[in-house]
Amino acid sequence: MTELPRRAVQRTARLAALPLGYAGRTALGFGKRIGGAPADTVLTEVQQRTAEQLFRTLGELKGGAMKVGQAMSIFEAALPEELAAPYREQLTRLQDSAPPMPTITVRQILTEQLGDDWAGHLLDLDPMPAAAASIGQVHKARWRDDTGERDVAVKVQYPGAAAALRSDLRQLSRLARSIGPMMPGIDVRALVTELQERTVEELDYTLEAQAQAAFAAEYLDDPDIVVPDVVAHSEKVLVTEWMESAGSLAQVIRAGTQAERDHYGGQLAHFLFSCPARTGMLHADPHPGNFRLLPAADGGPGRLGVLDFGAVARLPQRELPRTIGALIRIASMDDYDQLVTALRDEGFIRERVRIDADALRSYLGPFIEPAAVEQFTFSREWMQEQFRRINDPRGDAFPVMLRLNLPASYLLIHRTWVGAIGVLSQLGATVPFRALLEESLPGFAG
């Protein structure tokens, strides 16, 4: 494969086949059930084959298809265990890898983007990618300039990435209703819409370089967080300092000790809450593959390395809105009459919509629990219970969820936070969440 498959008909056909394949497997499973096969065996077979087709297709197509798959993987902890288990291996694999781009194509792009003399700066370019993601892949190399030599990571955008990304997201938006049953509990349409709004920024590596350089400068010599500095960049090539790591958060999710889960989970939460005030931006792509493990000298848990700054929320006030902290503080004080008024003032409750304070408490109360105690243990069970509760049409929370409005300025912040909580739940991390809010969330401490 020399580039992303760009022909719209080819990509559209493969994406359109996803719900058809799921329907076919479901029908086959029904036939097996009639033939006497145990229901749980049939269900597992259908889910396993669906997971393999869904995430293999999203990964191989890269572009918007893979990006949607990676975004969906963050919410895996919210799925009921009997549904999530067959998906977990495929989800984790998608977070960290994808089929590579040939070396000759990489060299052509480097010449186009960095000029004919690029090889004078980039030495020992490894032909095998160290990582591959939705719109580009990363190679290790040595960089030489007037200051000397150093190891670098060279991120190269796939040919045709822009066209494929936009085409995939349009097609997946049209297919959202039929793909939805393959990942119960996840609003695929809303997810795709939000990704479409970020497309232009993520395709321009110059914008990513500016964001990463700002983060690297702010977190230089930080005791917990490492951000590689930018060495060189163009619109489709980004060269940064190489960061040697022992893997990603996906490994801790899969097989980490409780001490590792708590340690890295605490660092993740601290980074996401502290970076807005320190950089004026929120890192908005919290899937586990973007967070690398940097062991301490004694071999134990060390610092957390952060990658991929293509998706950031640039905050107008250079910090998270104080309204968020104030609303969470009011809710944690159990003053839901005041909270109804505050939510209405901020546009979360529209003018003609009526929401009872007790009904609002029923909906929001469990979500506020992490902020109401000194230590909170996130878990798959907790996350699953919240998704079950708010998606149950017979429950008290469901009608409240339908009546609340999320202002556009909060959409990316909300998705980032939900994604981060999803990762903390996959980790099963115990985190001093209230203290983090008091330290880093404007408006929470009063």
CB contact at 8 A, 283 and 322: no
Query: Is 308 a domain residue?
Result: no
Query: Is 291 a domain residue?
Result: no
- Res 306: pLDDT: 97
Q: Enumerate residue ranges in the chain where pLDDT < 50.
A: 1-9, 11, 15, 18-47, 59, 61, 63-65, 95-96, 179-186
- Res 285: pLDDT: 87
Regarding whether 328 and 195 lie in a shared domain, the answer is no
Query: Is 365 a domain residue?
Result: yes
Query: Is 187 a domain residue?
Result: yes
- Res 70: pLDDT: 55
Which residue range is the domain that position 61 belongs to?
Answer: 8-99+161-200
Regarding whether 196 and 326 lie in a shared domain, the answer is no
Give CA–CA dist 68/228, Å, rounded: 26
Q: Which one, of 108, 90, 98, lies nearest residue 63 by Cα?
A: 98
- Res 406: pLDDT: 76
Give CA–CA dist 87/46, Å, rounded: 11
Number of domains making up the chain: 2
CB contact at 8 A, 294 and 303: yes
Tokens 């293509």, located at residue: 310
Regarding whether 44 and 183 lie in a shared domain, the answer is yes
Tokens 């708010």, located at residue: 390
- Res 55: pLDDT: 52
Query: Is 190 a domain residue?
Result: yes
- Residue finishing a domain among 139, 173, 200: 200
- Residue finishing a domain among 200, 221, 254: 200
Query: Is 154 a domain residue?
Result: no
Query: Is 77 a domain residue?
Result: yes
Six-digit token pair at 209? 């370089």
- Residue finishing a domain among 175, 200, 225: 200
% of the chain surpassing 70 pLDDT: 69
What string of H, E and C letters represents the secondary structure of the chain?
CCCCCCCHHHHHHHHHHHHHHHHHHHHHHHHHHHCCCCHHHHHHHHHHHHHHHHHHHHHHHCHHHHHHHHHHHHHHHHCCHHHHHHHHHHHHHHHHCCCCCCHHHHHHHHHHHHCCCHHHCEECCCCCCCEECCCEEEEEEEEEECCEEEEEEEEEECCCHHHHHHHHHHHHHHHHHHHHHHCCCCCHHHHHHHHHHCHHHHHCHHHHHHHHHHHHHHCCCCCCEECCCEEEECCCEEEEECCCCCCEHHHHHHHCCHHHHHHHHHHHHHHHHHHHHHHCEEECCCCHHHEEEECCCCCCCCEEEECCCCCEEECCCCCCCHHHHHHHHHHHCCCHHHHHHHHHHCCCCCCCCCCCHHHHHHHHHHHHHHHHCCCEECCHHHHHHHHHHHCCCCCCHHHHHHHCCCCHHHHHHHHHHHHHHHHHHHHCCEECHHHHHHHHCCCCCC
Query: Is 116 a domain residue?
Result: no
